[in-house]
């Protein structure tokens, strides 16, 4: 069933009552990270905060890394209020020297590094390729792609010294498709997928599993700021017809960080509500018009 917009156009989405309402996961699987140290970048909000809280709830000591000290401290506060253990480290992931110092400080203070969720990123400037500012291109690649390279270079030696570990790099559904009007971001996230595969090839036999996570649209502060028409257009290409909750993404992160995924190496795991399966544009059941059957003599 379709609904009419104010100007008479027919919405591509079912009415609100027909939508699957946003919800967190009904978790029946538990993980035990007791004794493990987990590092999360971009941990001050959204998926990074949800991942940090989930790891702490599972018993890990969590290194909360973010460029924003106030939001990072709030994540630590939430973890500690629930009885968990977390420490904040301020870092700009686009600065390779700062990343190395931060990771070294994590290991010095917490003693080891078992799991890293390299999650920090930003969409950057929206617009067509010819409108993109070269400075934005460089910054978007630095924050989304080079940062992953810097993080892994700093993390892997520590994991090797303690016998192995697991690294989860946040890519995006945009790292698997050609998202419109986001050329630098799309290029960066495709790069994250490729970088993950290459690194996994090098280090899996040495006990470090490296995988990429490709989320679809998630209810974060950024997406929540979209105009309603933008959100509707976004969901029109999302078969599940709703935004993900950050907790739903963190469950995939925990799985990838755990021994439950011990044979998963170099994968790009889609947690996207169906965005990357394609075909949403072929849906016609919500339209009034019908194609005439050429074999039907009565039509």
Please state the pTM of the whole predicted model: 0.86
Q: How far apart are CA 275 and CA 294, in angstroms?
A: 33
What is 31-217+250-272's CATH number, 3.40.50.360, 3.40.50.720, 3.30.70.100, 3.30.200.20? Answer: 3.40.50.720
185 as an active site residue: the answer is yes
Show pLDDT as tens, one digit a residue, over the chain (299 residues): 333 344 444 444 444 434 445 555 555 679 999 999 999 999 999 999 999 999 999 999 999 999 999 999 999 999 999 999 999 999 999 999 999 999 999 999 999 999 999 999 988 878 899 998 999 999 999 999 999 999 999 999 999 999 999 999 999 999 999 988 889 999 999 999 999 999 999 999 999 999 999 999 899 877 888 888 988 888 888 888 999 999 999 999 999 999 999 999 999 999 999 999 988 777 777 777 776 766 766 65
Q: Which of 150, 180, 185, 263 is catalytic?
A: 185
């Amino acid at each position: 069933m379709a609904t009419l917009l104010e100007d008479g156009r027919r919405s591509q989405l079912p009415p609100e009552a027909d939508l699957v309402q946003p919800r967190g996961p009904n978790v029946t699987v538990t993980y035990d990270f007791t004794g493990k140290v987990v590092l999360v970048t971009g941990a001050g909000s959204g998926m990074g905060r949800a991942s940090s809280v989930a790891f702490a709830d599972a018993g890990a000591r969590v290194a909360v890394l973010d460029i924003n000290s106030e939001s990072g401290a709030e994540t630590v506060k939430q973890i500690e209020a629930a009885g968990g253990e977390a420490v904040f480290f301020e870092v700009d992931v686009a600065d390779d020297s700062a990343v190395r110092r931060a990771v070294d400080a994590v290991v010095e203070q917490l003693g080891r590094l078992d799991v890293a969720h390299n999650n920090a990123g930003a969409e950057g400037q929206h617009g067509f390729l010819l409108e993109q500012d070269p400075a934005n291109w460089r910054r978007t690649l630095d924050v989304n792609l080079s940062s992953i390279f810097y993080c892994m270079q700093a993390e892997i030696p520590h994991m090797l010294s303690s016998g192995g570990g697991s690294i989860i790099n946040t890519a995006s559904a945009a790292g698997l498709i050609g998202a419109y009007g986001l050329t630098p971001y799309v290029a960066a996230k495709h790069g994250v997928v490729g970088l993950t595969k290459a690194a996994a090839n090098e280090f899996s036999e040495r006990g470090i599993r490296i995988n990429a996570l490709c989320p679809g649209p998630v209810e974060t502060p950024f997406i929540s700021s979209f105009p309603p028409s933008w959100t509707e257009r976004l969901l029109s290409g999302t078969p599940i017809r709703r935004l993900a909750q950050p907790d739903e993404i963190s469950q995939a992160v925990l799985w990838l960080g755990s021994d439950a995924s011990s044979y998963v190496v170099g994968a790009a795991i889609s947690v996207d509500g169906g965005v990357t399966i394609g075909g949403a544009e072929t849906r016609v059941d919500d339209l009034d018009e019908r194609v005439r059957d050429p074999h039907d003599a009565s039509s």
